[in-house]
């Protein structure tokens, strides 16, 4: 492990085994926080690292050699201690206590979702950490049923209804900050499966600006040029959980700070509030507030910019195209595998190639990849296969933006990343700006493969694969992680 001096509490994940080494009451009283244990040495962040009396007490408590680390920000340390060792848990063993414990642990680990999965003999609590599911604890059948019922009551859902999917939300306060939990249930063969999506300002505070999303200089320039066009459609694609909404929100914030534009969004559901933006929530269970009906109404409210959560059918796509033709800038998403696939998907929905060519400004595909933990990542020599992959990247337009020293990052795992080897995520992008030549290809009936080849070979625009390897060589992800979201085979044209 590296010699750690400056600890960023917003970037580490402390193992529950390490937290249990020191009683919470002691940590709150003495303002200390255990960080990691390795080889019989316990690293402890302290408000006063020179207080040898406190160090001695910790060594007596843990029977470990203590390595004191001075906190740079005492206030941040105090907040972290309160977050990791809350002193107000309700009745231990009850559904309330389990709920508090699980949500607090999810916040500590910076998880995006909590899953309560029923099993044949009880249930499991699972946390989604950087896109991967990890089992946190097992529950008895009684505890599982009580926990699900408790959450449904808090979300205002009917606890007697267990045969149909239900949706709701809970707002709680954690360390002075409002935390929104989106609740969804679905019946399974063993009982109700309940998912909680965690949304808070702190969790996405660093993603408010386009500059913080991980775009390469090339992609940032391409996307910025598309945003400068006052009308047309900007479409993003990618699977669920690929960060499309985050990119859209960051794009809208770029306009909302101006204060001279009327921006309206139509979402299902509204993920996070944006200042100076009118956000409309679609009710999936009420046909009176559907995407298409809301969009028709929005056009009568004099918008400059419209964001549609997702284009799902011809009617929504048709209204989006007509909005772009009448001078509006429209943002939305589609489910396709590549940027060129967006163009063909619109045509498959029933939009004529001429209208697609006339309105689409840019097609963007994106994925999320995990970032290696900065505390345990190491640079190693690539093996033969990895060297071949990197060699093909050297023809990419992004190759000039990296300094390759024949080393690639390797994720190892340590106490600072809960032994996962990764901490946080970044996005990889693929962008196809629709210029006059691409418009002519669309009108002529070019398919996805032909458009992809034109993007890669004639325009030499970076693909998802290229952008991913660019981020690998800059230490922002690993080849193993990149291979989990796109093909690294150079001959594979459409991911």
Digit-coded pLDDT (tens) for 19-59? 889 998 899 999 999 998 888 999 999 999 999 999 999 99
> For strand 113-119 and strand 191-200, is the pairing parallel, antiparallel, or unpaired?
antiparallel
> Helices 95-109 and 141-154, interaxial angle, to 10°?
80
User: Residue 383 has which token pair?
Assistant: 């093996």
- Of residues 204, 238, 229, 308, the one with CA closest to residue 467: 238
Spell out where 120-243 has E strands: 122-129, 132-139, 166-174, 177-188, 191-200, 232-237
Confidence of residue 285 (pLDDT cuts 50, 70, 90): low
pLDDT value at residue 494: 46
pLDDT band at 457 (very low <50, low <70, confident <90, very high): confident
- The CATH T-level fold of domain 208-483 is Rossmann fold (3.40.50)
Count CB neighbours of 61 within 10 A: 14
- Bridge partners (DSSP) listed for residue 365: 237, 430
> Measured between alpha carbons, how far is residue 307 from residues 232, 261, 342 in Å?
12, 13, 17
Of 78-92, 380-394, 407-421, the one with minimum mean pLDDT is 78-92
Tens of pLDDT, residues 440-453: 999 999 999 999 99
Q: Look at the block and give the residue holding tokens 């989106």.
A: 182
Determine the average pLDDT of the residues in 123-143.
Answer: 92
> H-type helices in 306-419, by residue range?
314-325, 339-348, 353-359, 384-393
pLDDT in tens, 192-235: 999 999 887 655 555 678 888 889 999 999 999 999 999 999 99
Rounded Cα distance, 26 and 201, in Å: 30
Q: Where are the domains of the chain?
A: 16-84, 95-201, 208-483
User: Please, which pLDDT band fits residue 493 given cuts at 50, 70 and 90?
Assistant: very low
Look up residue 44 and give its two tokens.
Answer: 């402890």
Please state the CATH superfamily assignment of the domain spanning residues 16-84 in this structure: Type II secretion system, protein E, N-terminal domain (3.30.300.160)
SS (H, E, C) 362-387: EEEEEEEEEEECCCCCEEECCCHHHH
On whether the 95-201 domain is CATH 3.30.450.90, my answer is yes
Question: CB atoms < 10 A from the CB of 320, how many?
Answer: 25
Query: What's the pLDDT at 64?
Result: 94
- Biggest alpha carbon–alpha carbon distance for the chain: 79
Can you give the pTM of this predicted structure?
Answer: 0.82
State how far the Cα of 145 lies from the Cα of 48, in Å rounded to an integer.
Answer: 45
Q: List pLDDT tens digits, range 94-108.
A: 888 899 889 988 888
Q: Residue 304, by phi and psi: left (phi above 0), alpha (psi -120 to 50) or beta?
A: alpha
Q: Do 62 and 27 touch, CB atoms closer than 8 A? A: no
Q: Average model confidence (pLDDT) for the chain?
A: 88
Residue 11 pLDDT? 75
Residue 296 half-sphere exposure, CB side, CA atoms within 13 Å? 8
Tell whether the model's pLDDT for residue 313 goes beyond 70: yes
Q: Is the dihedral of CA 41, 46, 52, 54 positive or negative?
A: negative
Closest listed residue to residue 478, CA positions, set 426, 437, 442: 426
Alpha-carbon gap, residue 404 to 473, rounded angstroms? 7
The answer for residues whose C-beta is within 8 angstroms of residue 137's C-beta and 6 or more apart is 102, 124, 125
What is the arithmetic mean of pLDDT over 365-377?
92
Instruction: Place 286 in a pLDDT band, splitting at 50, 70 and 90.
Output: low
Confidence tier at 492 by pLDDT (50, 70, 90): very low
What is the pLDDT at residue 439? 95
Q: What tens digit of pLDDT does each residue of 137-185 get?
A: 899 999 999 999 999 999 999 999 999 999 888 988 766 667 889 999 9
Model confidence at 475: pLDDT above 90? yes
DSSP H helical ranges for 419-459: 436-443, 448-453
Least confident segment among 8-12, 113-117, 482-486: 8-12
Which has the higher per-residue pLDDT, 290 or 381? Answer: 381
Segment 368-388 mean pLDDT? 92
Q: How far apart are CA 131 and CA 172, in angstroms?
A: 24
Average pLDDT over residues 419-429: 91
Interatomic CA distance for residues 473 and 73, integer angstroms: 32
Per-residue buried b or exposed e for 414-434, using 16+ beta carbons within 10 Å of the residue's own CB = bbbbbebbbbbbbbbbbbbbb
What pLDDT score does 104 carry?
Answer: 86
Let me know: does 55 contact 43? Beta carbons within 8 Å: no
Alpha-carbon gap, residue 262 to 252, rounded angstroms: 11
- pLDDT the model gives residue 202: 58
**What are the tokens at 282?**
């679609």
Q: What is the pLDDT of residue 377?
A: 92
pLDDT of residue 486: 84
């Amino acid at each position: 492990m590296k010699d750690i001096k400056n600890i960023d509490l917003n970037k580490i994940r402390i193992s529950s085994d390490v937290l249990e080494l020191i009683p919470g009451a002691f940590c709150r009283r003495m303002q200390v926080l255990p960080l990691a244990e390795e080889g019989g040495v316990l690293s402890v962040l302290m408000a006063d690292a020179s207080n040898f009396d406190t160090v001695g007490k910790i060594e007596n408590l843990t029977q470990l050699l203590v390595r004191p680390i001075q906190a740079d920000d005492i206030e941040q340390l105090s907040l972290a201690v309160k977050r990791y060792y809350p002193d107000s848990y309700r009745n231990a063993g009850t559904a309330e206590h389990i709920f508090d414990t699980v949500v607090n642990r999810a916040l500590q680990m910076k998880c995006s979702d909590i899953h309560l999965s029923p099993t044949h003999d009880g249930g499991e609590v699972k946390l989604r950490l950087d896109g991967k599911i990890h089992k946190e604890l097992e529950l008895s059948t009684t505890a599982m049923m009580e926990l699900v019922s408790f959450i449904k009551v808090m979300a205002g859902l009917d606890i007697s209804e267990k045969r149909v999917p239900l949706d709701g939300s809970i707002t709680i306060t954690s360390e002075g900050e409002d935390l929104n939990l989106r609740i969804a249930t679905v019946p399974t063969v063993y009982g109700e499966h309940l998912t909680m999506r965690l949304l808070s300002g702190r969790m996405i505070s660093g993603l408010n600006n386009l500059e913080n999303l991980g775009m390469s200089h090339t992609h940032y320039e391409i996307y910025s040029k598309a945003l400068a066009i006052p009308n047309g459609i900007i479409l993003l694609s990618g699977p669920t959980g690929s960060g499309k909404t985050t990119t859209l929100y960051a794009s809208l914030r770029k306009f909302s700070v101006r204060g001279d534009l009327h921006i309206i969004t139509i979402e299902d559901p509204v993920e996070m509030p944006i200042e100076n933006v009118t956000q409309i929530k679609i009710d999936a269970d009420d046909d009176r507030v559907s995407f298409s009906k809301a969009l028709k109404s929005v056009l009568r409210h004099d918008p400059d910019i419209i964001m549609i959560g997702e284009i799902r059918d011809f009617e929504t796509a048709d209204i989006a195209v007509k909005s772009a033709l009448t001078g509006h800038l429209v943002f939305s998403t589609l489910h396709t595998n590549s940027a060129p696939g967006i163009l063909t998907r619109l045509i498959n929905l029933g939009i004529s190639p001429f209208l697609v060519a006339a309105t689409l400004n840019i097609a963007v595909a994106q994925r999320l990849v995990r970032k290696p933990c900065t505390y345990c990542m190491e640079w190693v020599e690539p093996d033969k296969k990895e060297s071949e992959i990197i060699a093909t990247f050297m023809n990419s337009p992004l190759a000039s933006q990296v300094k390759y020293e024949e080393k690639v990052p390797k994720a190892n795992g340590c106490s600072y990343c809960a032994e996962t080897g990764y901490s946080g995520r970044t996005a990889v992008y693929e962008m196809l700006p629709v210029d006059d030549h691409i418009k002519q290809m669309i009108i002529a009936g070019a398919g996805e493969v032909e458009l992809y080849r034109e993007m890669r070979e004639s325009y030499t625009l970076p693909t998802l694969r290229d952008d991913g390897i660019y981020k690998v060589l800059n230490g922002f992800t690993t080849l193993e992680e990149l291979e989990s979201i796109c093909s690294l085979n150079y001959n594979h044209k459409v991911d």
